[in-house]
Amino acid sequence: MTEEMPQHVGYRLRPVRPRRGPRTGRALVGMGLALSLALAGGAAGAVGAMSITGGTTAVTVANGVAAHTTISEIAANVQPSVVSITANSPGAQATGSGVVLRADGMIVTNDHVVADATGITVKFSDGKTSPARVVGTSADNDLAVIKASRVGQVVPATLGDSRNLAAGDTVVAIGSPLGLDGSVTAGIVSALNRAVQETGGAVIQNAIQTDAAINPGNSGGALADGTGAIVGINTAIATTGTEAGSIGVGFAIPAELVRTVTDQIITSSASVTD
């Protein structure tokens, strides 16, 4: 059964931006002013109004994989695959998150985290850092792949299947809210198949809605299910009035889209460099 989300008079929805550094002169760039869907990471000045439609609470068939029993077990499984990203651009610095895709240093994040960046630094879960370069981006899907140049014993994430999720399932968000790398928050799947649209920007189809706390700097980070598989990439939150933090309405790009887009980016990059 699909329920249409009512239009909220007086609410605005904005994408979730990463935390901007002191050079911007603002502590939280891109956070929502009204009910805004703020990007959990990204370039300053790119926040636009967004709308949300659709959604379903239909129960889905489980994939038969045993779930971890505690939030700490899920976090321990996922944290080694999540990185903090610092993206420098003229006059600004943004902090976001990313998820390791491959042992060679390929990392997925949001396009709005690294858009226009002139320099990128990745911090791994063991505290080691590495310069990184943009491999390719998909602005339409708000996804990007970057590659770290110095890679140690990194742990690639396991991409799951959000189609196995049901409303009420436990999910865990891991990333770098406000630059605090390795932060873990937990919640449930609030709804599935949300259509989240940023005015003049990316349209996220089949987004996962969650009440796990997501804040600026979480963009590009992991949303994991009870098995420790990555079922989404965190990208946006809703905020109200002058409140800058999470109000329990966050959104993630589903793993199926992440897999398709990142595979295309990496394949296209390989064909260009060969």
Could you give the CA distance from residue 200 to residue 151 in angstroms, rounded to a whole number? Answer: 36
Could you give the CA distance from residue 150 to residue 145 in angstroms, rounded to a whole number? Answer: 16
Q: Are 167 and 191 in contact (CB under 8 A)?
A: yes
Residue 160, both tokens:
């799951």
DSSP state of 159: B
Q: Among residues 68, 84, 130, 142, which one is catalytic?
A: 142
Residue whose token pair is 């000045």: 45
222: left (phi over 0), alpha (psi -120 to 50) or beta: beta
Q: Reduced to 3 states, what is the DSSP secondary structure of residue 197? A: strand
Could you give the CA distance from residue 216 to residue 129 in angstroms, rounded to a whole number? Answer: 21
**Number of C-beta neighbours around residue 27 at 10 A:** 13
C-alpha dist (Å) from residue 162 to 30, 141, 159, 167, 252: 28, 17, 9, 11, 10
In the annotation, is 8 catalytic? no
In the annotation, is 68 catalytic? no
Could you give the CA distance from residue 178 to residue 214 in angstroms, rounded to a whole number? Answer: 10
In the annotation, is 181 catalytic? no
Q: Among residues 36, 81, 130, 219, which one is catalytic?
A: 219
Q: Among residues 111, 112, 181, 190, which one is catalytic?
A: 112
Nearest Cα residue to 89 out of 135, 111, 120? 120
Could you give the CA distance from residue 22 to residue 237 in angstroms, rounded to a whole number? Answer: 22
Q: Are 48 and 198 in contact (CB under 8 A)?
A: yes
Catalytic residues: 112, 142, 219
